[in-house]
Chain A
């Protein structure tokens, strides 16, 4: 029963919560008779403490005590009791004339009985014939992370979540079953309550440098994890095919919480914590740095002037060689004699801090038969562990469903404002990445001068030193603010035409508005130039409007043992983006930092659109729950596709056999369930350019008359009317099996996916007027195995649940352009090459092979062809891998001795989650592991190059110093002017990225029911969580998940500076009443 405002006013308990939102409440009734009973676990007979007992159709409720006993007053109108408890299926019992009603609840952890969301509908897990991973709210809750995708890490086999940056609110990389595309995107499609989100917003805010791209912000962090009821990942093509041309990279379905019939529940979930950097890199201190720098200068000097001595003064050096890099900086001299008390700055400490994090969600949910609602508000504030970075979110959600006869209408509305304080973490000193700078800065300089101003001693230092800017000054003084305002919502009407047949109309919209403002003040020096700089700034705005109209017909009927459900639909979606940018410079001072104060130096404006029309059809049939069949098709037409290929068709079929339902297995008590599944489907990748099929014109100006520039226009690319989606055909076979009364569940899947029609820029005859054309031509194969094992054990009052998953994917390029030539691209520096070739995974590292150092002159002399003439003992040894004829030629030369030296793709990934419960206590531990991938750690070019120019990894202490003191045989000698080929990118820069990470440890305590009742609460839980407490890895950088270019499959896995992950310790509170 819905009540009016005066009733609400009486219900004072809610008053403080509901201002500004939907105002709904329920009326109290008066009790008539008393019922008692015990709620137990149906399998074990254990009493369940804290179960909710509700009289159906009323707001009368009770909670079971520690032994599962309850007492409830049954009003005269009450006939049915509803028992519910987290982790169990709800149970309804008609009371009749009884006064004692015992309830045996069946576990819903038996995954087979749960309802899971599939595209355009829901299905019982038992009937699912495709590969779908599912995570429920309670597995996501209480983690101190800004976004749900972070909480998804290691939860689903075959879904690899990689946190490439630890910056608050930074984007993650999510890959479902490997990497299928070379040049289009590999991100899955996200669908929130039926609205497929556009991927375009991901790049809305651009970067500050094209050479060293910023890690983009996470546009999905507008979604409050506390609002999410479940996340389903459609992994195989058969499940994803209902999303047609957008299904190839998998589909992530997010379902938000909705009100349930029953008592109004008010919940308050919050945590407050503190974050510190999860790792610090061991660097040289100022004395060690000075010593090494001195040695490096001397070696460079003696290399050039063999008669010179390390004791020679700068004057003598100047006369002898003249290279400034061989001169000794006077600033290091006091350190050489170990004078105590000199400046010894830990630049990592200078940029890192302990930073607070807090998150608060208040939600109110409930409903009567005709009206159900879920309303929430959220505030999150995460400061970054790097100074001057942070993320804030303010969000609200209202999900309301109203039923009137055969008509149901509803609305989901989710406005969010989020705000990012950005700092540039990516890139080496050239890109002003503060992480790289902090590692490189010489520790002999202080952060601040005596007068409190920033010290820029490492800029324009002289003595051939590379200019390095003070990272603290950059982090604090560059202002880079980004806001995202998002309104995501839909409204629907559903009408039951006849029994089993209903029509649904849904109108959705995702409106995003981004604003980024950047200012670099005059007080911040620029490299190689002392004193005030010319301030620069930009202001960037991007607005996206994405709307969706969907019409669907649903049919669900059972005819005896035949169960049929069918779906037909029509949908249209359109996206429009408007982008504007202004850049200004020459600000007179730093007082006003908006662009009006400076001189606008450039501006741009860009409007782009895409549209998508779709027809959807699906039929699911099962015979008595035993034989299951499903077939679906989607037809997608899009403006992105060329005229001749405007429509794509994406069919799929799947079948399942519930073997355990057969009579011959019914008697096998050890086997609870066994289902065999097979599926095949076609999906597409729609993440291709908006106007890739159109011949665009470029401005090609000419000079005429008296030096006048006249506008010319000419096509810059050819039209390709055949341009279309990339296509994936995936076959999946698997089984789900449960043993011992569903205490042990195992799911196994094998898949084989062939992606074809990959978009590549293919060389065409220049006689056509063009050099390349975007064509659908390449092929990639992904195949893999996934295992998920779950168990649930009860020993008296002690409960243990565990879930483990492990998955391996193999990626292989099958075809490239017409000639089949490999694609070689460079990463952050020209020598850092990546190769994509037929028969290999996409984007392997393609470098030289380093074999340690030459220990002495004899070793050098033995192989003169293997090194350049400038090589000295202590320089790197490189391997002769090949020659001009493709076989080793006894020489090391830069043109032919590159080879494949690793891949960013892991051999396998795993996750392991344990939950223990004893009385009111709960303990959860989750572990994530990624094994067998390599990282190209390009920061080693600077912080492990032994030049003594900037600071170095502490491993530099193991360097070669003399034939008698050769170090560990791996680290080369100190030399300011690298000799040999020491600077070439080789396996010296490639490290194993394998890691095992304890992601979360949570310890919670729920107050007992008896106490709760006294303080009128239904739930109160306190918990302590630590996130990323331990990582086990040999990787020397901050984060073995690093990837400088997560959106470029051709050059993945490079570390050129990255924001480290935080280690978070928080205390949290869950309250409901």
Chain B
């Protein structure tokens, strides 16, 4: 019996260490369980969050389709390329299964999830307070930018502010647009408080407080909260961090990245090993893909007109607009940064907001708008030309089209000003009014427990 007792004791002692024995972590691949523990981890996680913006489904390429090709700036004449994915978006006939939309939706949430994980976990970690507040601010900025794009593309979407498990995700619902904007405003307000005004050296290119503020102003304009927009943008406009470059073409030059006009750009580098470069934007091998109406909107002397002209790329079959010209690397990618928010945009938003608050003949709104026009080499507007608030509004929206052509603003400007249907008609396409919002990807709806409640956008 003694022996049996001994044996039982042995068995028990063996089983006591079973938890450690069974809890094996990956040895050659980092995993989430032992990550998010140190300041360095969060540095890497924040870089990873920026990386989502680089995705080919976002600023890396597909926004050009879902925002510019959708608008009256760019056209797609090739129903055979990519099974007509882009052509269908241009022609307002995309089905709910369009994979560009599916991937863009997915990529936005991939980025949001990366931000949520950072914001969920960072408070519990001890680190330098300034650094912590910066990391949080960066995550808030990227999250807000992502939701801002989501809400403008699809309207009501799930508002996920904490990283949840996948089973939880199946019961997500589509939140009200107002709630999403509230979250965006909060993130950007927090970010502008937590982020530094500038960076030096290797940190240049990260989101700044000015970028957060500028983006918040843009959000307010979109929401038609013009008073708030004016007060928010005023700081940026009057600040010294950002300014217009004398020559508009310099803003986009690959040799002149991180210039003083850029509030925030998604950064790329050609020849990177893991997709840090991108394919040529708006490249075409089958003729011009710029809508004639865009070209016609410029005065001949406008310095911005040449930026929309297609330039052949050496060693490539493609021509690309001068604004995003770069020569191909050995692996056929290019490295332009994508300007998400730049000073000219802020000026135009500021002018627009001022006008909406109170039209004033040759007032500050005129002065601000004319800064942009003067730089472009075109005559200033006067109160005699734009005699009403409405006239000024039309002028500033048109100016935005010229100044920010191909920069993923036009479609949103058309939608928020209620002019999309009429503008699209000019390109010869009749657009059903419900298509101001995209269809929610069918594959996404299919994954929810209650597909009916989750629902599709009206009209689809």
Contacts and interface: CB of A to CB of B under 8 A. Distances in A.
Nearest to A707: B269
- Bin chain A's interface residue count: 35 or more
Interface stretch (B18-26, B189-197, B311-319, B398-406): B18-26
Interface string A593-609: 00000000000011111
B206 interface: yes
Contacts of B170: 764-765
B267 A694 contact: no
B447 A764 contact: yes
Contacts of B203: 704-705
B29 A691 contact: yes
Contacts of A720: 166
B45 A714 contact: yes
A646 interface: yes
Contacts of A764: 166, 169-170, 447
A770 B49 contact: no
Contacts of A704: 47, 202-206, 267
A710 B448 contact: no
A100 interface: no
Contacts of B257: 707
Contacts of B4: 497
Given A719-B32, A764-B169, A711 B47 contact: yes
B51 A702 contact: yes
Interface stretch (B66-74, B106-114, B244-252, B293-301): B106-114
B45 A713 contact: yes
B106 A768 contact: no
A694 B26 contact: yes
B14 A572 contact: yes
B48 A714 contact: yes
A766 B106 contact: yes
Given A570-B15, A695-B32, A714 B49 contact: yes
B384 interface: no
A609 B205 contact: no
A611 B21 contact: yes
Contacts of A637: 18, 22
Given A703-B272, A705-B202, A691 B26 contact: yes
B21 A613 contact: yes
Contacts of B48: 700, 702, 712-714
A572 B444 CA distance: 43
Contacts, number: 200
B100 to A, nearest CB: 14
A595 B119 CA distance: 47
A610 B26 CA distance: 10
B32 A705 contact: no
A715 interface: yes
Interface in A715-738: 715, 718-720
Nearest to B206: A704
A710 B29 contact: no
B21 A572 contact: yes
Interface residues of B, number: 76
A703 B7 contact: no
A837 B62 CA distance: 33
A32 interface: no
A1012 B315 CA distance: 85
A607 B7 contact: no
A330 interface: no
Nearest to B170: A765
A705 B51 CA distance: 15
B28 A606 contact: yes
A29 interface: no
A718 B166 contact: yes
A1053 B400 CA distance: 60
Given A709-B269, A713-B48, A765 B274 contact: no
B33 A695 contact: yes
A404 to B, nearest CB: 17
Interface string B107-129: 00110111011000000000000
B201 interface: yes
Contacts of B240: none
A639 B26 contact: no
A818 B27 CA distance: 33
Given A570-B15, A697-B29, A765-B447, A702 B50 contact: yes
A570 B11 contact: yes
Contacts of A705: 201-205
B4, B26, B172, most chain A CB atoms within 10 A = B26
B30 interface: yes
A613 B20 CA distance: 11
B458 to A, nearest CB: 20
Contact of B32 (A553, A696, A819): A696
Nearest to B33: A694
Interface stretch (B156-164, B211-219, B220-228): B156-164
A701 interface: yes
A200 to B, nearest CB: 14
B24 A702 contact: no
A211 to B, nearest CB: 21
A768 B165 CA distance: 7
Nearest to B14: A570
A691 B206 contact: no
A609 B24 contact: yes
Contacts of B26: 608, 690-691, 694, 696
A610 B47 CA distance: 32
B202 A765 contact: no
Interface in A629-655: 637-639, 646
B28, B170, B441, most chain A CB atoms within 10 A = B28
A767 interface: yes
Contacts of A572: 14, 21
A587 B367 CA distance: 67
Contacts of A607: 27-28
Given A702-B276, A714-B49, A719-B32, A765 B169 contact: yes
Contact of A702 (B14, B158, B165, B267): B267
Nearest to A646: B22
Interface in B252-277: 257-258, 267-269, 272-274, 276
A710 B444 contact: no
Contacts of A701: 47, 51, 272-274, 276
A505 to B, nearest CB: 9
Interface in B401-451: 441, 443-444, 446-448
A694 B51 CA distance: 22
A608 B25 CA distance: 9
Contacts of B160: 767-768
Contacts of B54: 702-703
A712 B204 contact: no
A768 B108 CA distance: 11
Interface in B39-65: 41, 44-52, 54
B45 A768 contact: no
B460 to A, nearest CB: 18
Given A639-B22, A707-B335, A767-B109, 10 more contacts: A608-B26, A613-B15, A638-B22, A690-B24, A694-B25, A700-B51, A706-B204, A709-B272, A712-B49, A771-B106
Q: Which 4 A-B pairs have the closest CB atoms?
A: A769-B113, A712-B47, A712-B48, A714-B48
Interface of A: 497, 503, 551, 553, 570, 572, 574, 605-611, 613, 637-639, 646, 690-691, 694-697, 699-715, 718-720, 763-771, 773, 818-819
27 contacts: A607-B27, A613-B15, A646-B22, A699-B274, A700-B52, A701-B274, A703-B54, A704-B206, A705-B204, A705-B205, A707-B269, A708-B202, A710-B202, A712-B46, A712-B50, A713-B41, A714-B48, A719-B32, A720-B166, A764-B169, A765-B444, A765-B448, A766-B447, A767-B172, A768-B165, A769-B110, A770-B110
Interface of B: 3-4, 7, 10-11, 14-15, 18, 21-33, 35, 41, 44-52, 54, 102, 105-106, 109-110, 112-114, 116-117, 157-158, 160, 163-166, 168-170, 172, 201-206, 257-258, 267-269, 272-274, 276, 335, 441, 443-444, 446-448
